[in-house]
Structure 1
Amino acid sequence: MVSKVLITMSLMVLGALAQFNPILEVTSCTRSKLELTLTDGADGGIIYIQGQGAACRQLTTSGVSYYTIDFGSCGIQWLQEESFKVIVQKKSLYQTGDDKQIPVMCIADLGDLTVSNSLDVADKDDDAGLNKTVKPTATMTLYSNGENINGGTVKLTDIVTLVMQLDAEYIEDFDIKAKSCFADNIEIISNACPVDTELFPHINSISQGLIQAQFGAFRTTSLAGGSVSMPFSCTLQVCLGSCSYTTCSDGFVSYGRKKRALAKRQAEENNMEDISVGSSISITTDEVTIESPDDDNNTCMNSAAFAALMTVLTAGMVSSFGAFVVVFRKFMDNKRVLMHLNSKG
């Protein structure tokens, strides 16, 4: 009888322990913070990063709750890879074997964003590791006169600004520079330097994660005229932190500054796999009006009419002048007759 009671009590204890089974998900991991989602935590429990002090400790609740752990407050600074243990504790004042120790690794990479149970560094067999892979993304936007012209049309005489920027959530941690760019089949950037600065200039770094270049519109040769579609595409190098400069053969670096002593510039940096961005615009020429053959005939007809008119006017003037001469002569003859008569009287 006593044995049955002990067995029953043991099962009740094990059942109570099994009831605490929180699920932790890493929703975001950047160089500055870790964002977690906890499901089925305990009211009055705590969650924290092991070994980092009270600044990383937060109270838990039952149901679904969200937590942001600031790495600066915790004294954590990860470069390209950082691993630590997240502790989910049922009671805040004491620890038991019921608590969860979940190893988390944040990896800066450009593979697909995944969460997988690939780590095996936990103290307890029942706690799976979480591997968070960060994949930065970027966009290319084309502007003219301050307006977004992606998919639009500009004239061949317009000035275009090409802007490439990391998405907002990655700007704090990553940087970019253009390794190669094409405008349709025309190579405009090679090895981070412009191929022909008369066509396309150096790309400038405006701020971390934001680069741009301004150029006069151009297009591939079209014998037919009209509008020509120009797709722009770039392969971007992504760096964890700031990218280093690339010195070009003309003495400028890829962000448009003069060459200077950069002995440490070639130091190894946290380069990652490349990403691609692109956009497209249509470029048209200014219309030039050329007179048609009909217009030429009309011009000829108008010229003939003008010549005929001038001939008539000239003939009229000649006739009038002749009549004037005849009248003048008669006037002079009459004047001489009158003078002769007056002299005899």
Structure 2
Amino acid sequence: MESTFVFVIIAVLATLGQAQFSPTLTVNSCTASTLQLTLDNAADGGIIYIQGQTSACKQTTSSASTVHEFDFASCGIAWASSFKMIVQKNALYQTGDDKQIPIMCIMDLTDLTVANNVNALDKDDDVGQNLTVKPTASMKLYRSGIDVAGSSVQLTDTLTMSIELDAEFQADFDIVAKDCTASTISIVNSACAADTDLFPDFTKPAPGYLSNSFGAFRTTDLNGGSVAMTFSCTLTVCQGSCAATTCPSGNGYGRKKRGISKRQANPAPAIDDISVGTTVTIAAEEVILQTPDDDTDVCMNRTGFIAGLILLIIALIIVLVTAVFMGRKYHEKKDALQKLNGGMTSVAMG
């Protein structure tokens, strides 16, 4: 009886030990290159890894809440495929207590379908976790290579618009600027520029990257001053290279500068739309006109100059008249002296 009682106690303790190991795994993010998850209630000195991969995908666990990141390239995991994440209580050996959690990352694209084979896994200790991810992009405005989004530029400036998929999506996806507006002005319709004189068609330096240079413009404001312009675009996302749109001036999304890549040779259909935008304030250069006071000063200066010139001429005339008068007086006195001297000489001779 005593040995049986001891055996029962050991069995109960073993059962309690098994119940205590119940780690919880939560997927935080899953991009085309990286998986990030939070692990709670695991064992100190245990391990977590992706089944069937190398030691590059193995990390040590802790009983505290910890964040783990796994690089898909290092682990050899194809994105949008299912795999097993193993949480092992002891790093040296496996037991039935170890947890196996199926995981799959799914792109949030309406026409993109991925087979979910988590049911084929032989041991699912947790409900399979499927994380949905939507591609993201950004729009920026540059003046002379400087980002001016959110700041002020002049109406005479040349701006460059850059639209780019975020880095984790560039390897697998492409974009087309489907429709764009500048506040209330339509600048792109159905992937073609609405007015190429105002806003030319986009060029495409690389997959997932659109660029365009244009002269700054704004909606009409009768009061002058500055006008805030909001530029926004609806982008069509493709898995692979997007198909070109024929426009009067060329391809709507723009042509690759150096030849056509293999990805462009077989364009993929559009599968979803996303939006991007930014704002810039556009100011008109003010032309400064002379005020009435300034005109009065100019007139006064001209009047003074003319009056001074007249006085100078009058002074010169007075000097000339005086010189002529004095010259005549001098000659008259000289003639009188000569006559007087001539009369005195005649008396002396008589």
Q: If the length of structure 2 is used for normalisation, what is the TM-score?
A: 0.74
Summarize the Cα distance change of 1:308–1:94 in structure 2 as closer, same or farther, 3 Å threshold.
Answer: closer
Task: Give the aligned partner of residue 151 of structure 1.
Answer: 150
Secondary structure, aligned partner of 1:41: coil
Whether contact under 8 Å (1:46, 1:60) holds in the other structure is yes
Secondary structure of the residue aligned to 1:179 is: strand
* Residues in 2 aligned to 1:13 and 1:314: alpha-carbon distance in whole angstroms: 127
Match of 1:30 in 2: 31
State the AA in 1 paired with 2:141: L
CA contact 2:205–2:255 (8 Å) conserved in 1: no
Give the 5 Å matches for 1:63-78.
63=63, 64-78=65-79
Q: Deviations over 1:27-57 (max 9, x none)?
A: 332223333333333456554444x444565
Q: Are positions 1:98 and 2:89 aligned together?
A: no
Corresponding residue of 1:290: 289
Alignment of 1:173-184 (within 5 A): 174-184=173-183
Q: 1:71 to 1:169 in 2, by over 3 A?
A: closer
CA contact (8 A) 1:41 1:90 kept: yes
Tell me whether 1:19 sits opposite 2:17 in the alignment: no
Partner of 1:82: helix, strand, or coil? coil
Secondary structure (helix, strand or coil) at the match of 2:222 reads coil
Aligned in 2, Cα 1:203/1:338: closer, same or farther, shift over 3 Å?
farther
* Corresponding residue for residue 255 of structure 1: 254
Shift of 1:319: 3.6
The separation in 2 between residues aligned to 1:304 and 1:71, in whole angstroms, is 87
> Does the Cα contact within 8 Å between 2:102 and 2:124 map onto a contact in 1?
no
SS at match of 1:320: helix
Distance, in Å, in 1 between the alignment partners of 2:177 and 2:123 is 46
Q: Secondary structure at the match of 2:25?
A: strand
* TM-fit CA distance, 1:131: 0.9
Superposition pairs of residues 37-116 of structure 1, within 5 angstroms: 37-42=38-43, 46-50=47-51, 52-54=52-54, 58=58, 60-63=60-63, 64-78=65-79, 81-90=80-89, 96-109=95-108
Deviations 1:120-150 (A, max 9, x none): 6654465201011113433333333444433
- Deviation string, structure 1 residues 44-103 (Cα, Å, up to 9, x no partner): 6554444x444565254342454444433444333xx32223333445676554333322
Q: 1:107 to 1:311 in 2, by over 3 A?
A: same
User: Which has more radius of gyration?
Assistant: 2
Partner-residue secondary structure (3-state), 1:317: helix
Contact kept? 2:243, 2:267, Cα under 8 Å:
no
Counterpart in the other structure of 2:301: 302
Letter aligned with residue 30 of structure 1: T
Give ranges in structure 2 of 5+ residues lacking alignment: 111-117, 346-350
What's the TM-score, normalizing by structure 1?
0.75
Percent of aligned pairs sharing the same letter: 47
**1:169–1:71 distance in 2 versus 1, CA, 3 Å:** closer
**CA RMSD across the alignment:** 4.1
Mapped partners of 2:133, 2:169: distance in 1: 9
Could you tell me whether the CA contact under 8 Å between 2:210 and 2:253 is conserved in 1? Answer: no
Q: For the residues of structure 1 that align with 2:224 and 2:38, how far apart are their CA atoms? A: 58
Q: Residue 296 and residue 65 in structure 1: after superposition, are their counterparts in 2 closer, same or farther (change >3 A)?
A: closer
**What is aligned with 1:215?**
214
Look up the match of 1:237. 236
Superposed, 1:325-344 pairs within 5 Å as 325-330=324-329
Question: How many Å separate the matches in 2 of 1:295 and 1:323?
Answer: 42
Residue 203 of structure 1 corresponds to which residue in structure 2? 202
What is residue 277 of structure 2 aligned with on the other side?
Answer: 278
Structure 1's unaligned 5+ residue stretches are 112-118
Partners of 1:333 and 1:188 in 2: CA distance? 97
